[in-house]
Every structure is written in structure tokens, then in C-alpha cells.
Structure 1
Amino acid sequence: MYVDLKLPKKVPPIPNPISVNTLPLPGYLEQTLATNLRMAMSAVGQERPKFPFIRTKRSALIFMGLHLKGYNPRSSQYERQKYQRKLQDYLDACNLPKWLAISMPLLFRSETGRSPSLTPRLNQFLGFQQFIDTASVWMEFTDDTREKQAAEGVCLQLKNPFDL
């Protein structure tokens, strides 16, 4: 049936690959950032982070920033692991009120009569009251030279605990 068919004389040219750097800004962002941003927004929707004493919108933005830094394919493995640990610490801090609601006894018990992990986590929760929910506090520049210990429960002891 197609044996005697002849190809047309005019064939479309082979397309040349386009460099991402030559694209306009919206196209550049779409080609480079869209996948990572979609993954971060999906993770925010699944986790629904709410940091104690901070508004929901700011909590979601902090989570997205940590997620983008933690899963950036262009950064080094060390940087990705560092921010993934910070992201996990942030999620632990966001889940701390739920954990306290489940673990806290209904009747008062002295420190010796309750779970050994309750007092440090309760103190940590109360320590989160010091974080002021204003843009100037969260946007100030920090030196990233100090090392944070590996994730052990929730151990955030920095002025701006997530270095954003």
C-alpha cells in the first residue's frame, strides 16, 4: 500500500536545540525551576506544616525554602543533606504540639513521674515563643559558618533556626 509512496520534496528542517540561557525570564524559570517548585508545593500540601507561634503562611514559606534547598539538584550532596536535616528538624518542630497533646498526662505529674522525653520537648516548645513573627527577623542575613549537629529529635537552638 505505501510501497510506491514518495516523500515530499520539502521536508521541515531539523530543529536546533535551544540553550536555556537564551530564553526570556518566564521561559527560563519554567524550564529550570518548575519541577522543583511543583515538588515543594506538593510537599507543603501533604505535610501542612504549622510552626508553633508563627503564622501558617510563613510556616509554609519556610518549609518551601528548606525543601527547595534540600532537594536542589545543582547543589552539592553535603548541602542537600544539611538542608534535608534542617527540613526534618523543622517538621519535627511543627509536629511538636501534636506530640505534646498525645503524650501529656491529663493530671499533673512531677518530672520524676512522667516520661523522660516529655520535659525537654515541653521546654523546647515553650522556647519557641521567643521567635518573633515579623519579616525583618526572618529576612536578616546570617553567617552559615556554624555547624548544626545531626538531627536528634528536635534540637533547634539558633536565633533563626532554619538559616533562611
Structure 2
Amino acid sequence: GQAACINRLCITPKELHCRLGEFGLYCPVCLALHYHLVDCSEEKALTYAAEYTGRYYKMCNKDHLERFLLTPDKFVTPGCPFTLPASDQLPVKLTTNQVKNRFPQEAEMKGFCPVTYLEGKQRYEALVRGKIEYAADYKQKIFFFETDQKRHKFMRTPETYSNQKLPVKVPPICEPVSLTSLPVLGYLEQGVSEAIIKAMTAVGCLKPKYPFFTIQKSALIYLALYLKAFNRNSAAYNREEYKKKLALFEEDCALVPYLGSTMSGDYKPPNERPIDFEFKINRFFSLK
């Protein structure tokens, strides 16, 4: 009936995972004493881990380990006054790539650090923008933080910081920010507006109509091919490949007005038709 430290007992990660207690890798002492969510998963060693009634528990420091070993019943069910939230209700650190993969989802509080804002008594001067490299997810929402330490504070007590309201007036963006941290319209304006304007101008000049496609579908396909063909971020061979596809698409679109003008009027015998007429009409029907 006593708790015991399991440090240096050669317990494998698989065995640890199989026998974890009801709090997983969260410190049960922090949870019981302060309702703090302290994730111990980053510490791979079992220096502050203990076994009690056949279950394993990880603590965050030596003091909490000693408290647990002395009175374990206070820190496990049913003695612990709190339960660990469901896994989808727990805060999770996000990498820069994970944040980018969530685009177009925007950061909460317009990217301002919720911890700095609350610690600054929610004054205007405390509105400091967080950084994408210090991001976290909480209840499917993204938050940015000024420093890793402030992200750590948020992870311990996310409810303390996550429901704040910004004032109507907030500081302007006065330093470069990553495109993915901008609102959707801002991202489009800064990232692709010039390319889209050029592509739309090309569509307006050509007015493409692909055989057997609607005008709308023809325009959308042309727009996509144009953007691919002139994407400066693509490799040169990719751009060349799409330029060839764009040229072929333009040629096929030209079949409609060509055949319309050539076939108007009275019937003409084969020897009076243009040399390329048979080839183009066969090409036209092959696209159906």
C-alpha cells in the first residue's frame, strides 16, 4: 500500500505507457494542489516517477515526488480534488509547420500574447504580438506567445488566459510578420495579389472558351494554368511544363472561333477547305 520511486529500475517506455495512472504524464501533485496542468512528457528520465497500486505517476520535481511518496492517496483518484480534462481539451505545443498547415485558421487575439496582456493588467501597452515559433493549440484554437516561458505559463493554466477580449483599438503591425500569421485577406493581398491580377488580365484579354466547357470553367482552368506557369517559387522545369500546357490550352480554345468562321456560309467541298481544316475539326471532336 505504499508508493515507491521507480527511478533506475530499467522500466521500458512501453511498460511505462501501459501502466500509466489516470493522469497520464501530467504531474498529479500540481493538479491536486493548484489545478495546474504540468506536462512531464518532455522529461524522458524517470527521476521523479513513482509506482502506486500498480500504476505509474510522473512528478515535475523532487519536492512533488516526496509529497506523493508521503501521502499518495491525496493525489490519486478518489483523493485528488480534480480530474484531468479530456485529451482534446488539453493545451498542446505547435511547431511552426503545424501552424502553417492549419492555414487559413487565424491565431486568437489577433496574434497578441494572452499571457503578456493579462500580466500587464490588460492595458494597451501590454498588447505585444506573439511569435509563430511559440504557438499552442487549446480547444482547437491557436495562440501565439511572446516567449517560450509565457507559453509554458499558458499551458499550466490555459483557462486563465484563453477567454480575454481585446480592446477596439489595438497597436498597428509595425514589424515584419510571416504571411501565415496575417488574416486571410491580408495574406492574399501580400502574397498573391500581383500574380492574380496578371492572370485575371490575361483571362480578360483572351476570353478563353474551351470546346465543350462552359465559359466559367474555361476561365478557371486558364487561370490555374497561368498561375502555375508563372509561379516564381516553382522550379524552372515545372514552369516550363505548365507553359506548354497553357499554350496547348490556348490552341484548343482557338478552335471554337476558327471553326465558327470557317464553317459559316455555304457548304464547301473538301478541296476548297483550308489545309488544316480536317486536322482541327478532328482535334475539336477528340476533346469531347
**Common fold by TM > 0.5:** yes
| 1:109 maps to amino acid | P
The alignment status of 1:99 with 2:223, answered yes or no, reads: no
Aligned to 2:247, which of 88, 107, 123? 88
Aligned to 2:286, which of 127, 133, 138? 127
Residues 130-141 of structure 1 mapped to structure 2, 5 A cutoff:
none
The alignment status of 1:27 with 2:195, answered yes or no, reads: no
Shift of residue 69, structure 1, vs aligned partner: 0.7
Corresponding position of 2:268: 108
Corresponding position of 2:226: 67
Shift of residue 66, structure 1, vs aligned partner: 0.6
Determine helix, strand or coil for the equivalent of 2:176: coil
Distance, in Å, in 1 between the alignment partners of 2:277 and 2:249 is 18
Corresponding position of 1:36: 195
User: Higher helix share goes to which structure?
Assistant: 1
The alignment status of 1:16 with 2:149, answered yes or no, reads: no
When normalised by structure 1's length, the TM-score is 0.61
Corresponding position of 2:158: none
| 1:18 maps to amino acid | V
Deviates more, 1:82-91 or 1:101-110: 101-110
Distance, in Å, in 1 between the alignment partners of 2:176 and 2:256 is 52
Distance, in Å, in 2 between the alignment partners of 1:40 and 1:128 is 24
Distance, in Å, in 2 between the alignment partners of 1:119 and 1:53 is 19
- Call closer, same or farther: CA 1:43–1:109 in 2, change over 3 Å: same
Residues matched between the structures, number = 114
When normalised by structure 2's length, the TM-score is 0.36
The alignment status of 1:55 with 2:214, answered yes or no, reads: yes
Query: Unpaired runs of 5+ in structure 2?
Result: 1-173
Which one scores higher on RCO, CA 8 angstroms, separation ≥ 6?
1
Deviations 1:102-142 (A, max 9, x none): 444843313x554331111111112222xxxxxxxxxxxxx
Determine helix, strand or coil for the equivalent of 2:287: helix
Determine helix, strand or coil for the equivalent of 1:115: coil
| 2:229 maps to amino acid | G
